[in-house]
Chains A and B, each alone.
Chain A
Amino acid sequence: MKTLTKSSLRKTATASLPKWKLRLYVADNTSKSVAAFRNLKQLCEAHLAGRYQIEVIDLLKNPQLAQGDQILAVPAVVRKLPAPIRKIIGTLADTERVLVGLDLQPNEANAFDPRQSL
């Protein structure tokens, strides 16, 4: 398990903005896994710069963790925070659907809770 924490996160984050905690489940270091991680990171940088956390879990190394988030398909992203939990599967190539799936408003300038802004 490796945890990516952007050093910039602490600097730019303000107390009013909700913190995003994402978990990326992959199985082995395959091209799909790499693509999913790349896509997720890009997306977060674009829309959640400074207030996100991505945890990558390789199920081959930690198979017991698959049960907790009910993971069947990989790659899969689970939005742990903000609640509620949301799940999307695939390499995250379709940015539009990822945004819908994570319930993330593009260019979240006003930084309100995403649900309220719907």
Chain B
Amino acid sequence: MLVSWTWLSRYLDLSMSHEALADALSLSGLNHEETLDKAGEIVIDLEVTSNRGDCLSHIGVAREISVLYDKLLQLPNPLPQETSLAAQEVAKVRIDYPESCSRYTARLIKGCKVKSSPAWLANSLKAIGIGAVNNIVDITNYVMMECGQPLHAFDLAKLAGPEICVRRAKAGETLEAIDHKSYLLDASMCVIADAKSAVAVAGVMGGASTEVSPSTRDLLIEAAIFSPMSVRQTARGLKLHSPSSFRFERRVDPAGVDWASRRACELILELAGGELLQGVLEAGTAAESKSPVVLRLSQIERILGIQVDRQIVVRILTALGCNIAEPQADPLSIVAPSWRHDLSREADMIEEIARIHGYDKIPENSPISVVPSARRDWDHAMDKVRLVMSSAGISEAMTPSVVTESLDQAMSPWTDRSALETITPLLKGANRLRRSLLPSLLQSRADNWTAATLEANLYEISHVYLPGSGPHELPREQTNIGVVSGQDYHGMKGLVETLVNRMGCSATLSVQPTTSPGFDPLRSANITLGEHLLGYLGHIDKSLAQRWKLPSQTCVAELALDVLLQYSTLVPQFRSISPYPSIERDLNLIVAESIRWMDIESSTRAAVGHELASVQYRETYRAPEKDGANTKRLLFSVQLRRDTATLTGEEADAMIAAIIDRCTKEHGAKLLA
């Protein structure tokens, strides 16, 4: 909202500097954007919050200044002279769409002379960025910027028939507005119409066919109230926003409609001549009186933390235009002024007192009580996860949660349901809520390679959105960690195992081949921890590698962090260290190709039980010329230990024999001689 210093001075004495005024307004609710000096004319740009439509005018801002500086506000009292001819004899107004228009009034002026505005008027508008058109249009704009009530002047002679009707637009109806563009209307929109057609888009813009021109002699001056919702939707639907629509959207003063109408007519008679017909044409309901708000003085301290004296409270509220019947009572019964739609509750009154009294009066020395607040397990767990990732040389990235269709389709191991879509894309073409973090990370890896030939090893911790079964169900949001790196399958698996170990998970980690699209079917797996699916791991398939033109092998992993946390032991528990030495033995078993290490390991563990301190895989070796086709040798070491005594060589030998025996029985293994 631009306000000019000269214009404001018409309503009160501005003895302060404009810098001091701008600061004072900022600290009381009208945020100062900038001050322009237009050839000596000071113009201040103020930001008006959406609840303060009353400040979208010079009188509104002057009223705030009068309260802040305790100055007298002097407002015009327009009483234009009327002739004896009754307006009702000439025209009528009617509302057929009361949801969009609660009140419609009009005054008629005959025999005026349209010409240029005098300098004071043209300059007033120019200072706040409004171009001069002619004296009639300029007066309607001036009064709108003076009091905040939008007005419109029709050329009475160009209206078809004697009746103005506020109605719904007809489907397919078009209107050429005064910007000389044609607008296609729909039935939700509200128009002002004569007997033949729409002549204005209600509250948004007038029509070209009835606009005031140099030949205009007779006027119909409209002052009305259009509903905020209707004006907002129409303005948005037509992509046609005006100072008028802006003010109706933020609500006008219902008691100010007639004042604005009289003020405009008074100025027209003064500057354009003519005669004002008697009376006002009106339809709809007049402003209702407001019900009082109860303010308990004790509530001021309860909310603000400071006491404010009754005299100050009464002075502030009265200066703002409130009516307090009994200033000595407690609670106070307060009737808010008609232009303040935002004052309907006790809390609203307390805010008024606070902002005028000054927030600087509120002290900063009221500490809150001390309470214990523990860090969440989740935060401790994420620290550990990030520690493992950092140690592995992998860096954290953050990428947008909403992705393009093509990115979404690349990999979706967690669900087959289609991704949720936003109506408006987040970024160009990106309207899918991602179901996996992996496509985003692969994109980042590819971007790094393209931009700087750098191999990016990245991880991200973020939500994925797994759609529910129906359209009205919120998606299941799962916090995942996704990883992309240039390691091979076993490198990535080692990372996952290290992470699981470091989190103190004692549950068994196992893998099964996965057929999830995008993964290389021979070198990828889904991962189970305990009873739950932990995630996916493996190489991306050739088509994805080609699509992203990735330079070398690329491995990915994505894990559900809530599953990981479920099996974690965040506070490690001490286990006693055995004082007895362990015996280490190496084993080299020949097995069929189909036997997996997991099979041999579990048989080994089962054969010895708790005296098996550890079993460590060493390597796989193939010597078909010696061992026969489709065989391999599995080399591994076992550590044997008893917690209560030193094992003898004979006992160890017996355990090794048991391992071999079991592996032979269960898997046909043969000890390499």
Partners in one complex: no
